[in-house]
Structure formats: structure tokens, C-alpha cells
Chain A
Amino acid sequence: MYNEVYKNSKVRKFYNQIYDWAKSLPENVIVKKKNEAENLFKKIGITFSVYNNFDSTERLIPFDMFPRIISSTEWKKIKKGVIQRALAVNAFLNDIYNSGEIVKAKLIPENLIYKNPAYEIKMIGFKVPKRIYSPIIGSDIVRINEKTFKVLEDNCRTPSGVSYMIENREIMMRMFPELFEKLKIETVENYPNYLLDVLKSLAPKKCNKEPKVVILTPGSLNSAYYEHSFLADLMGVELVQGNDLFVDESVTYMKTTRGPEKVDIIYRRIDDKFIDPITFDSSSLIGIPGLFDSYKSGNVNICSAPGSGIADDKAIYSYIPEIIKFYLGEEPILENVKTWRCCEEDAKKYVLNNLSKLVVKEVHGSGGYGLLIGSKSSKKEIEIFRKKILLNPANYIAQPILELSSVPIFDKKKLSPRHVDLRPFCLVGANKTKLVDGGLTRVALNQGSLVVNSSQGGGVKDTWVLNE
């Protein structure tokens, strides 16, 4: 396991100052600061609701004060790699919804795309504004050793967590201003401006003035509602729900106290199937009837584009290196994790024979659900998954169990290592890509645990990219 702080029981150079600082904190100060941080979070109202929880109680996401540091050389590589993937993913989406060159070139089996319910046939042949399908991509990156960062998945629809990236920094700066004087740390506060800028660059065909951007949320019961309102606030745009918008003669408007106001770009944080009850799930109560028609008539842009979810598919993920080479003619900068696709006979055999050594994932699953970690599961759990795979092999992929790198947390009063991952947020607009220097570090708070999802005992840390 790679320890990001220690090297041969010595503290790495760029962690020196932070480590000394952490060690010097008296126990009572740690406790006090922890409470202070919690109160700050509570006051600001950063909470998240947990799925499968009927009374939808709000919880605070646990925050750990020990920052995770990334050197500028390391960051340069991550940044380049993430941008490369984001561009490739958009080129891929544009291709499969138009001519399908990559399928014709036989680089990806056609079944994997066309049979996939995430491939939205209503999007075929539609010219998405500026050819950008997925303007916000959050790639989950893990570190395996000194040199190797690997990408676990790319979230192309509506990745969440960026509000924590910004708030974690805000809280650290408030509590420990002295640290920011000692170290030169890249800022992350420009993210909302970048996002607005990128969204505005994606105005639809029939918009000939300063585009009006809104964020569309499913509502305050959604687990990421805080983030939706946070972004709307910092971007200075309206946070709307389905009922706030309506379509008349193919134009999308929002209801305001002054009367209807035309909307040009919708950063939607609701799933495809809910956006328009006429075109998609007719039982959707949170969607806007006629929105898809308005979109196709070039009156409004929906970001991300309906049907972008196909690129989130974990079986497609395994082809990202091929996708990068095909569209960009470049070698992938960041590695993929070795992936066995159970739809392939040999791979399936291998997976079934080695279940206790693998992580098995549903191709459409997210949030750490529908997942088997072989080494941490009982025989019974493994057998359940075996049956599931046999029943529907195409629905599963498997990956080796990765030893995620570790960074210490303040466990009670002392430092103790925990596994972490990293999610930077890449923005892709018309002829521009933007990425703030930082990201969200998620940490598995339980000792030895590899699951960093907030819904399953994960916490967050501030992530510092050094400016050297």
C-alpha cells in the first residue's frame, strides 16, 4: 500500500510542514477544532440526505482536518490526463450519436452500445450545441504507487461533490489561516465562474443574446440539494425545479414574479428519464413537458445532453484507452484499472473462478451500490453475486482489488492512515477546457475500508495542489 505521507518511515518533503503542524496540535485543540469545523458545516447547512432512507434525514458529511497534498508535478500529469479523457469522452458521444465510426472500425462491439439502454435513440442524429455532450466530468482517481494514478471511473452525467471541494477549503482557511501563509496552495474558488463561463459557451442555436443559465434540481429532498443551491448561489443563477419551468410553442420559460422569462441553458441535476414526461418517463412529476422538443428545436440546451450516461457505463469505461487513441490519436496519460467484462466468455470464467480476489460492479451502478468486494465478503454474499453474474453476465464487470493510497486522519486524537481517492472536476466548453487545481478527496473513515462513498461511511478532506 502506498502511503502518501511517509516514505520508508520518513515524512515526505512536501508533507513536512503539515505533518509537524498536525503533530504539534494538543489533544484538546484537535477536539475543539473538530467541533468548530462541524459547527461551521452545520451552520452553512452543508448536509446530504442518504438514499434508501425514507424519512430522508439530513446528515453532515464527516470532514477530516488533515489535508491531502498533491505536488505540482503530480498534478500536472493528473490535469493533462483528466482533460484528455474529457475530450475523448465528448468525441466518443458525438460519434456514436452520429456516424458511429468507432463501431464501424470494430474497436467497440456494437452490442455494447446499441443494446445499452443508456444509449438514447432519441438523440441520434441531433446536433448538440457545439458538439459538447458532457461539459462536466468528474473522474475518480486512485493512487497505486509513487508513479501510478489510475482512473476508476468517469462520471459524465452529473458528478457531485464539487461543493465540498470548495467548502472544505473555505473551512480550512477559516480555521487554520497560518497554514496558508506557510504553503503556497492553488485556489479552487474559481470553479463556479469557470462553470458559468463553460455553460454560457454552450448556448443553443436560437439564442442571440446573453444566454440565461439555470440549474435544474429534483428538489430539496435530493441528496445533493445543498450542492445545487450552493452552485446556483455562487454562479448567480436561478435554482429551478421542474414546476418553475414550462414550454410554450417550443420555447422554455421560467415562472417569475415579473412574468415568464426565457431560459437558454439548463444545467440539469436530474436524470434523463425524468426531464420530460412527454418524451421519457410519463410518470415523471419533476420533469418539464415539452422540454425535449424545445431542446431539439434549438431553443434551449440541456447540460449534460440526454444520453450522455452511456459514457458512464463501466463496460464502456474499459474501452477508454481505445477511445482516446481513436479520437485524439494520443496515448492515454492516466491508466485504466484492469477490467474483466463478464459479457466476454473467457473473462466471465476468470471472474467466476476468482470472485474472492476481485471487485465486481454492475455496469450501470453508482454510489458504491451493487458492488461486491470479494476479499471483504462472506461466502454467502459471493454466491449471491455468482448467481447474479450467471443470470446476466453483460450487467457486470470485475476489477482487481486495488490498494488505494493512504493519508492520515485525526482518528480521535492521533493520526492514523486511511484510504483515499480523488475526484477532480473537468469542464469542457466550446473550444475550451477548464479545471481548477484541486479536487475532492474522499476518505474511507473505517480502518482498512476501501469504500469512500459518503453514503457508506466515507468522509472528505481538503485537497491541496502545491504551487511550487
Chain B
Amino acid sequence: MLSRTAENLFWSARYIERADSLARLLEVGYRISLIPNTERGYTNEWESILETSGIKSEYFKKYKTISKENIIFFLLFDTENSSSVKNCIKTARENIRMVRTAVTLEVWNAINSSYHELDKNLKDTKNILKELPEIIEWIKKQVNLIRGTILNTQLINDGYDFLILGTYFERADFTARIINVKYFILLPSINYVGGDIDNFQWSLMLRSISSFRAFKWAYGEQEITYTKIIDFLILNMTCPRSLIFSIEKINHHLGRLSKFYKQTSTSNKKMTLMYKKIKNLNAHKITDIGLHEFLKSFIEEINFVYKKFEQKYFFGSET
């Protein structure tokens, strides 16, 4: 397969995943806005939404203050924001368009029709908050449709691997960022469990990865503790948005590529090590290392894997 084809497939899937993550973040935003603005207010929640989406500095280049209307606009429609949902879908479609023949007609149709329906469904209105749930629903529906057609219709060949790798590199990145932005609420020093504010904070975090209910399923109706959350977000193989889940997928598909091409790759070797390491961890060990330190080295390692992966398959210059 042409290197650029692999790169286009990878980024297309990556942008789709990003649109999905943004929709979930906005869902959290919507929830906040429904809660009466008492005591401290939730301005900093909106700020962490910006931070989690990774475009805080871009936002402040354009706006001076935090305003939910501006943030919603910026995250959803703003064409100046390269990672707005609108641009994500546009870029995803552009990437696929360039390699149209590498995907099935069904996948192309799903992405192409999402793109063509963009303007109709992603419309900025005066009362954007009111429209938000419907918009979010639409985005999630499109993402699921696209992903579904990928899973159901694509040949399970190297192209498929690049698509899946795009999804999970993005997801690992996003989950790591969410935890990183909010890691202070998971510090053992905050030992109040059951306080309204913490409960609220934690629930927001779980909701932003659409896992609030799932958490309850996994851990029952007992009290929420930080170790349980760490376990859930980082180490739980049943949670599709945990770090270990993404790592396992990336490892699996890098391994498949190596086998498929009958070539070893540094990214694959490194990823296998990473996966082994994370499998042997538990929440207490992570707290011992320090959550922040753990995340820092996690992000560094996955970036290294990505660099090697990119050099080998996209640039043809692995050294």
C-alpha cells in the first residue's frame, strides 16, 4: 500500500474519533450549563473542557474570556479551529476522498453523506444551548455509522489496521489528556469521598468519556473512590476508553502489520513493552509512582511509538 494511503486512512479515522470525543466533551458542557450557577460557578469546568480538547491556546488567540457560547461555537463550527467538529469531519472526508478506493463504497458513502449533511445539521443559532443535544446526537450517530461501516464492510487487511490504529492513537491521547487535566481531583490527599463537589467532578469526568453508567456497572453502587476511577480509566480492559484498552488495540494492530509485511518495526517492539508494563500495574502502584508522573511518561512513550510508526510506514525513513 502506498505510504500516503496508509497515512490518509490513519488520519481519517483519527479525525472521526476526535469529532466523537469533542461531542462527548460538549455533552459534559451541556450538563454543566443546566446546573444552577451557585457557589463557585463552573467557569473553570468550561476551561478544562478547552484544555482537554487541546485547543486552549488557539481559543485564547481569538477570544479574551471564557464564555460557553464562544466555546461551543469554537468547538463545533469554527472553521478557524482546525479541530472543530466541522473541520474534523471535513478533514476526515478529505483524507478518505484522496484514497477513496482504499475503502468500501459503504464507508465512503457514510463519510461523504456526513460531510454533505454537515451544513444542515451543524447550524449555529442564537440559542445554541437549546439545539446542542440534537447536534451532539447527530454527531454521535454519524460517528457510529462511519465506524460501523468500517467494522462491517472493510476487508481486514493492512488498510483496516491503519484505520483502527488512527482511532486508538487518538483515543489514548484523549483519555490521557482528560486524566491529566483533572488529575488533581484524583489525588489521595483529597480523601473526602462522597462530598458533593467531588462526586460531581468525578461524574463529569466519567461522563466525558461516556462511561458514567459503565463505571457503575463495573464497580457497583458502592462509593466512588479515586483508586476505582484510576483503575477504571487506566487499567480496566472492559472499559473501551481506558488507556490499557487503547494500548492493547494499538499493540495488536502494530503486530498484525509486522506480520503482514514480514518486517519487524521499532514501534511494534516498543508497544509490546508498553503493553506488558501497563498490564502489570495496579491503581496503588500508579499512586506510588505518582499519577502525574505516570501520565507524563505514558504520553512520552506513546509519542515515541507514534514517531517510529510514522517514520516506518508514512515516510519510509525509519532509521
A residues sitting closer than 8 Å to B (CB atoms) are 42-43, 45, 219-220, 229, 232-233, 238-241, 243-244, 254-260
Q: Does B192 contact A (CB under 8 A)?
A: no
Q: Give the interface segment out of B97-105, B119-127, B177-185.
A: B97-105
A241 to B2, alpha carbons, bound, how many Å?
A: 10
Bitwise, B1-17 to A at CB < 8 A (1) or not (0) is 11110100000000000
Chain A: minimal CB distance from B274 (Å): 22
Contact B98 A256, beta carbon cutoff 8 Å: no
A238 to B102, alpha carbons, bound, how many Å?
A: 10
Q: Does B195 contact A (CB under 8 A)?
A: no
- Chain A residues within an 8 Å CB radius of B313: 257
Among A43, A220, A258, A260, the residue within 8 A (CB) of B98 is A220
Among B4, B6, B109, B316, the residue within 8 A (CB) of A43 is B109
- Chain A residues within an 8 Å CB radius of B108: 45
Contact B100 A256, beta carbon cutoff 8 Å: no
Among A232, A255, A259, the residue within 8 A (CB) of B101 is A232
A444 to B2, alpha carbons, bound, how many Å?
A: 40
Chain B: minimal CB distance from A72 (Å): 35
Contact status of A258 and B261, CB under 8 A, knowing A220-B94, A244-B3, A244-B4: yes
Which residue of B has the minimal Cβ distance to A233? B101
Binding site secondary structure of chain A: mixed
Among B3, B116, B257, the residue within 8 A (CB) of A255 is B3
Contact status of A255 and B315, CB under 8 A, knowing A43-B112, A45-B108, A241-B4: yes
A255 to B6, alpha carbons, bound, how many Å?
A: 11
A45 to B109, alpha carbons, bound, how many Å?
A: 9
Contact A257 B98, beta carbon cutoff 8 Å: no
- Chain A residues within an 8 Å CB radius of B101: 229, 232-233, 239
Q: Does B319 contact A (CB under 8 A)?
A: no
- Chain B residues within an 8 Å CB radius of A232: 101
Contact A255 B100, beta carbon cutoff 8 Å: no
Contact A257 B116, beta carbon cutoff 8 Å: no
CB interface residues, B 84-101, toward A, < 8 Å: 94, 97-98, 100-101
A255 to B101, alpha carbons, bound, how many Å?
A: 18
Bitwise, B56-100 to A at CB < 8 A (1) or not (0) is 000000000000000000000000000000000000001001101
Could you give 23 example pairs across A and B, Cβ below 8 Å? A43-B109, A45-B100, A45-B112, A219-B98, A220-B97, A220-B98, A229-B100, A229-B101, A239-B101, A240-B4, A243-B4, A244-B4, A255-B2, A255-B3, A255-B316, A257-B2, A257-B3, A257-B6, A257-B261, A257-B313, A258-B263, A259-B263, A260-B316
Among B2, B100, B109, B263, the residue within 8 A (CB) of A233 is B100
- Chain B residues within an 8 Å CB radius of A243: 4
Contact status of A42 and B116, CB under 8 A, knowing A232-B101, A258-B261: yes
A233 to B98, alpha carbons, bound, how many Å?
A: 12
A102 to B57, alpha carbons, bound, how many Å?
A: 67
A238 to B3, alpha carbons, bound, how many Å?
A: 11
Which residue of B has the minimal Cβ distance to A214? B2
Find the residue from A42, A45, A254 having the highest chain B CB count within 10 A.
Answer: A45
Not counting A240-B4, A255-B2, a sample of 11 additional A-B residue pairs whose C-beta atoms are within 8 angstroms of each other reads A43-B109, A219-B98, A243-B4, A244-B3, A255-B3, A255-B4, A255-B316, A256-B3, A258-B261, A259-B316, A260-B316
Which residue of A has the minimal Cβ distance to B161? A257
Contact status of A238 and B109, CB under 8 A, knowing A255-B315, A258-B261, A259-B316: no
CB interface residues, B 226-262, toward A, < 8 Å: 257, 261
Q: Does B173 contact A (CB under 8 A)?
A: no
- Chain B residues within an 8 Å CB radius of A43: 109, 112-113
A256 to B158, alpha carbons, bound, how many Å?
A: 12
- Chain B residues within an 8 Å CB radius of A220: 94, 97-98
CB interface residues, B 175-229, toward A, < 8 Å: none
A237 to B4, alpha carbons, bound, how many Å?
A: 14
Find the residue from B98, B112, B257, B316 having the highest chain A CB count within 10 A.
Answer: B316
Contact status of A254 and B261, CB under 8 A, knowing A45-B108, A229-B100, A229-B101: no
Chain A: minimal CB distance from B312 (Å): 8
- Chain B residues within an 8 Å CB radius of A219: 98
- Chain A residues within an 8 Å CB radius of B1: 256-258
Find the residue from A42, A232, A239 having the highest chain B CB count within 10 A.
Answer: A239
Which residue of B has the minimal Cβ distance to A244? B4
- Chain B residues within an 8 Å CB radius of A256: 1-3, 316
A232 to B109, alpha carbons, bound, how many Å?
A: 19
Which residue of B has the minimal Cβ distance to A259? B316
- Chain B residues within an 8 Å CB radius of A45: 97, 100, 108, 112
A254 to B5, alpha carbons, bound, how many Å?
A: 12
Chain B: minimal CB distance from A213 (Å): 14
- Chain B residues within an 8 Å CB radius of A259: 263, 316
Contact A244 B2, beta carbon cutoff 8 Å: yes
Chain A: minimal CB distance from B156 (Å): 16
A254 to B316, alpha carbons, bound, how many Å?
A: 10
- Chain A residues within an 8 Å CB radius of B98: 219-220, 229
Chain B: minimal CB distance from A76 (Å): 36
Contact B158 A257, beta carbon cutoff 8 Å: yes
A232 to B2, alpha carbons, bound, how many Å?
A: 13
A220 to B4, alpha carbons, bound, how many Å?
A: 13
A219 to B158, alpha carbons, bound, how many Å?
A: 23
A257 to B116, alpha carbons, bound, how many Å?
A: 31
Find the residue from B1, B3, B108, B113 having the highest chain A CB count within 10 A.
Answer: B3
- Chain A residues within an 8 Å CB radius of B2: 238, 240, 244, 254-257
A238 to B98, alpha carbons, bound, how many Å?
A: 12
- Chain B residues within an 8 Å CB radius of A257: 1-3, 6, 158, 257, 261, 313
A45 to B100, alpha carbons, bound, how many Å?
A: 9
A260 to B317, alpha carbons, bound, how many Å?
A: 10
- Chain A residues within an 8 Å CB radius of B261: 257-258
The 4 closest A-B pairs by CB, nearest first: A255-B3, A233-B101, A255-B316, A257-B313
- Chain A residues within an 8 Å CB radius of B158: 257
A260 to B4, alpha carbons, bound, how many Å?
A: 13
A42 to B2, alpha carbons, bound, how many Å?
A: 27
A233 to B116, alpha carbons, bound, how many Å?
A: 23
